[in-house]
């Protein structure tokens, strides 16, 4: 099956620093990638929709200047958490949609656990 | 407002004890309902897509069904390796892959 890879799988950083998380579709082209956040024992909450070559669309309540998303190619999207604070500690998961296939059958990455000290 | 509610929140079964997980939804114009499995510390793994009321899908010990208001994930004779959190998600109208997830049901199957 299709594979989506995230890196790093976990990261610990100091408050005030920035952290970049990569999401790659390894064996298919993804026109659209989605970034989710999941707090402990809660479900996935969509943060933003990332389209290749255009600006990301952010969900209500998500600060676009804090969570920078870049989707420079059909196989790579990055999420940068800028000036991270402890409340940003969470499990960040990306998903990718087959190019030209508009369905909800998304392929998810393994997730990246961010801990901000 | 589009909404997905799953029940129960947690379910403990003995190995071989069949049961069902519920996913109730309200969405304006359902394009698809999806079931995912999530293991601790991992991303969700796709299980099923259901598109219309009356549709059923099966995979090994799992069977998903759909009505106009809810979906059920039936687990027949579960094994300990079926232990995971099962997530339900809906896709509303529009040309996007945006999903709205329920809070999940955490299943524990004891040997």
pLDDT digits (tens), chain A, 117 positions: 568 999 999 999 999 999 999 999 988 888 889 999 998 888 899 999 988 888 899 999 999 999 999 988 889 999 999 999 999 999 999 998 876 555 667 789 999 999 999
Residue of A nearest to B10 (CA): A41
- Classified as helix, coil or strand, B81 is helix
Confidence of residue B96 (pLDDT cuts 50, 70, 90): low
Chain B residues touching A32 at Cβ < 8 A? 96-97
pLDDT at B95 over 70: no
- A69 part of contact set with chain B, CB < 8 Å: no
pLDDT tops 60 at residue B86: yes
Chain A: give the shortest CA distance to residue B16, in Å. 26
- Cα B39 to Cα B62: distance, rounded to the nearest angstrom: 16
- How close does chain B come to A75, measured CA to CA in Å? 17
Distances (CA, A) of A63 to A70, A80, A93, B33, B75: 15, 12, 17, 29, 40
For chain B, say whether A115 makes contact (Cβ under 8 Å): no
| pLDDT per residue as tens digits for the range B19-74 | 999 999 998 888 889 999 999 989 999 899 999 999 999 999 999 999 999 999 99
């Amino acid at each position: 099956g299709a594979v989506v890879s995230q890196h790093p799988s976990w990261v610990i950083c100091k408050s005030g620093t920035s952290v970049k998380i990569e999401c790659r579709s390894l064996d298919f082209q993804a026109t659209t990638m989605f970034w989710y956040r999941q707090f402990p024992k809660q479900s996935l909450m969509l943060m933003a929709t990332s389209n290749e070559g255009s600006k990301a669309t952010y969900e209500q309540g998500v600060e676009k200047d804090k969570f920078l998303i870049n989707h420079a190619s059909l196989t790579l999207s990055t999420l940068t958490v800028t000036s991270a604070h402890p409340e940003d500690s969470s499990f960040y998961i990306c998903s990718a949609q087959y190019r030209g296939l508009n369905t909800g059958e998304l392929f998810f990455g393994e997730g990246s656990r961010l801990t901000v000290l | 407002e589009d909404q997905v509610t799953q029940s129960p929140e947690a379910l403990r079964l003995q190995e071989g004890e069949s049961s069902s997980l519920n996913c109730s939804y309200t969405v304006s114009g359902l394009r698809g309902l999806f079931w995912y499995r999530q293991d601790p510390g991992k991303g969700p793994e796709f299980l099923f897509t259901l598109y219309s009321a009356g549709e059923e899908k099966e995979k090994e010990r799992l069977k998903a069904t759909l009505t106009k208001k809810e979906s059920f994930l039936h687990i027949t004779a579960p094994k300990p390796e079926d232990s995971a959190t099962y997530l339900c998600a809906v896709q509303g109208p529009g040309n996007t892959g945006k999903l709205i997830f329920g809070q999940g049901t955490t299943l524990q199957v004891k040997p």
